[in-house]
Every structure is written in C-alpha cells, then in structure tokens.
Amino acid sequence: MSERTLKEVCNAYGISRRAIQGYEKAGLVSATGKTKHGYLLYDDLSQERIKKIKLFQDMGFSIKEICEIIDSPPSVIRSSLEEQLIKLKEECKQKREIIRITKEYIAKL
C-alpha cells in the first residue's frame, strides 16, 4: 500500500466519499496530506483504520460505538466483538426462520 487520494481509497475499499467524510467528522480518521492540486491523501495507517471502521460498520456497530471502542485496549475490543457476534448470530437465526416461513407461504400459493 502507499499514500492514496480520497477517490482512490473510496474505490479500493468500496466506501463512499460521504462515509469517509463522516468518519472524519466523527474524529475517527483524518487525511494525512494533500496533493499539489489539493486532493486529500491518506497514508497506510489511515487506510488500515478506514478498513477497520468499515468492517466494524458492516458488523453493525454505529459510528458512536466505533468511536468508543476503536482505540480501546484489545480486551475491550474483543469483548465488544464477541457481544456483536452473538447479536449477528441471533439475527441470522431470525432471518433463517423468516426464510423458512416465506418458503412455506409461497408453497401454499
């Protein structure tokens, strides 16, 4: 990896410009420089942090929750991730049940 512009970061990680701007507004990440044309740049550490924030969001954490845990000690992060994993497993279980019921309903039509 190397320093990338905002557009390159968005394309590389499938994140919208607005999302990264939201991360910046929340104080989670900041650009590490600018090109001679004024485009924002993000170094390797910032890019890794953006990937982690996106992963946490994909897991279902809110920006506020991410702000609370991202710089916490590993034990706190582990605990938060384990709790979220339990929630995700329950959501999957509920979705599977909805799928089963939907299939039954379709079969009766």
> 55-85, pLDDT tens digit by residue?
999 999 999 999 999 999 999 999 999 999 9
51's tokens: 């990937």
What residue ranges do the domains of the chain occupy? 1-71, 74-109
| Distance separating alpha carbons of residues 85 and 79, to the nearest angstrom | 10
The neighbouring-strand residues paired with 42 are 4
Q: Evaluate if residue 42 carries a pLDDT over 70.
A: yes
Q: Evaluate if residue 1 carries a pLDDT over 80.
A: no
CATH code at 1-71: 1.10.1660.10
Centre a 10 Å sphere on the Cβ of residue 37 and count the other Cβ atoms it contains: 6
Per-residue pLDDT tens digits for 5-38 = 999 999 999 999 999 999 999 999 999 999 999 9
Report which residue type is found at 108.
Answer: K
Q: How confident is the model at residue 39 (pLDDT cuts 50, 70, 90)?
A: very high
Close Cβ partners of 87 (under 8 Å, ≥ 6 residues apart): 60
Nearest to 31 by CA among 20, 40, 39: 40
